Structure 1
Amino acid sequence: MLRGIAMTLYPLPVEIRSYVIHKPRLKVIFPQVDDKKYAHAAVQINQMIYRNVLDLIRLTGYEENETTEVQGSYEIKLNERELLSLTLTVYGYTKGAAHGMTYQRGLTFDVNSGHHYTLAELFRPSAPYVAFLSKDVARQIQEREIPTLEPFTAIAPDQPFYLTDKSLVLFYDLYQLAAYVYGFVYFPISIYALQPLMDEQSPLNKLYY
């Protein structure tokens, strides 16, 4: 009896299966939702994931240069409370280049509907989320002494992100904020700090307790 109640309060994680795109000089592993309970939503989620994987591969120049080698993988950042958040990462190296280049995407979904969330959709309509999040990012840049390539002013309205169980994590691609040596720069922000921006429809509410 108690087990049944727990499963009602906390839906089980959606089932994920790994797939591989394997071609000469290319091996990219990516996730797909493989769960009969969410079969309809899985179609939309899987198509979105696959399109983004192909986009990342194109960014490496794999099709244009026969010396480019590509590897890719993924990380599941959140898979609970009927939310799925993940990152896709693809690395490409072209012979003769000083170094390779890594590209990353963050994707967050409602596993019931298959809806892909934008950053703005995490908050109530018209919430000043850009200013709010930018203030926190600016604080972290100063506290962590991150040497930015240009003076930081604000995040983008569609800033890349992913969710963990209790944080919103904004990130910047290579060269976007800091020099290559610093890699991807991540800014975790507690969901509890975001309460002033949320309403009952916010997916962040599912993680609030």
Structure 2
Amino acid sequence: MNRKEYLKYQYNYHKYISKQYNRLANYHMSISNIYNNKLFRKVNTNEVNIVTKKIEKPNIEVRYPQITNLENKLVEQQLNKKLKSRAISLMEDQERDQYNLVYMDASYNVKLNEKKLLSIYFNNYGYSKGAAHGGMLTNSITLDIKSGKEYEIKDLFKPNANFKKRLSDIIKKQIKEKDIYLLGEFESINDNQDYYLTNDKLVIYFQVYEYTPYAYGIPKFDIDYNLISDIIDMKGPIGRLI
């Protein structure tokens, strides 16, 4: 097998792996929706039209969301710039981290689209020639589609609430209950902690190798809003959902 044939083989193989990874993630999301009876109740959506755009290079495909039907076109432009920027940021990180990159596939999931809120989770899978396995990177963004505001995790809670300790304690409890193997001790979330929102949960997640080995995937911790209702800023984004 010559070099050209080898690279083509690696490209097709990891394209298949990436598609299976995304298919499995969507399957688990569907099962979760059925379990929580969310498929059988009316959802108050924003009626925001989201289309998929692509960035394509040799052996690279990055899909990202764009909004098309907001009345305020200035806000729409601002939001779309932020959404594209998140996808590009992951792509650039993957290109920098993966030496001799053979393949990259990136996509997104809309986790929340109601009450004038949009929360989107981005994922990026890349593989380098000769690597034992591919690399996974993720990020997310939560936006107000009326004002264009981007919400950091601190914006979800009351000004003086010690939300970092509260959320960290919940995560520690879940780690213990699920008997999750850690590469190092988990002490606390950080000031700019990655998260996304669903209609009934705050989801905290970490990157591969941040606390867990590659085989575990992206560690995610679901936190029901009712567990933290006393520290939620009712004028903030979560306040609209409860």
Structure 2 CA distance for aligned equivalents of residues 49 and 89 of structure 1: 13
Q: CA deviation at 1:15?
A: 1.3
Q: Contact 2:86 / 2:140 at 8 angstroms: preserved in 1?
A: no
Provide the residue aligned with 1:180 in structure 2.
Answer: 214
1:61 to 95, 100, 108: 95
* Structure 2 residue 155 is matched with structure 1 residue 117: no
Provide the residue aligned with 1:168 in structure 2.
Answer: 202
Deviations 1:146-168 (A, max 9, x none): 01111221111211100001000
Q: Contact 1:124 / 1:201 at 8 angstroms: preserved in 2?
A: no
**Secondary structure in 2 matching 1:58:** helix
Q: Which runs of 5+ in 1 are unaligned?
A: 1-9
Does the C-alpha gap of structure 1 residues 165 and 98 become closer, same or farther in structure 2, counting only changes over 3 Å? same
Matched residue type, 1:70: M
Provide the residue aligned with 2:189 in structure 1.
Answer: 155
Q: Contact 1:61 / 1:68 at 8 angstroms: preserved in 2?
A: no
Structure 2 CA distance for aligned equivalents of residues 45 and 124 of structure 1: 25
Matched residue type, 1:104: T
Provide the residue aligned with 1:4 in structure 2.
Answer: none
1:108 to 127, 130, 142: 142
Higher helix share: 2
Q: Which runs of 5+ in 2 are unaligned?
A: 1-43
Structure 1 CA distance for aligned equivalents of residues 216 and 45 of structure 2: 38
Deviations 1:90-142 (A, max 9, x none): 11111111111011001100010111100000111121000010010000000
Aligned length: 199
**Secondary structure in 2 matching 1:154:** coil
* Structure 2 residue 117 is matched with structure 1 residue 83: yes
Q: CA deviation at 1:40?
A: 2.5
Provide the residue aligned with 2:86 in structure 1.
Answer: 52
Q: Contact 1:38 / 1:111 at 8 angstroms: preserved in 2?
A: no
Q: CA deviation at 1:58?
A: 1.1
Provide the residue aligned with 1:5 in structure 2.
Answer: none
Q: CA deviation at 1:50?
A: 1.1
1:19 to 37, 53, 70: 53
* Structure 2 residue 210 is matched with structure 1 residue 140: no
Higher strand share: 1
Q: Contact 2:197 / 2:203 at 8 angstroms: preserved in 1?
A: yes
Structure 1 CA distance for aligned equivalents of residues 182 and 149 of structure 2: 34
Structure 1 CA distance for aligned equivalents of residues 150 and 67 of structure 2: 14
Matched residue type, 1:164: T
Deviations 1:25-64 (A, max 9, x none): 1111110111132433221211111111111111112698
| Aligned CA-pair RMSD | 1.7
The TM-score with structure 1 as length reference comes to 0.90
* Structure 2 residue 132 is matched with structure 1 residue 98: yes
Q: Contact 1:89 / 1:102 at 8 angstroms: preserved in 2?
A: yes
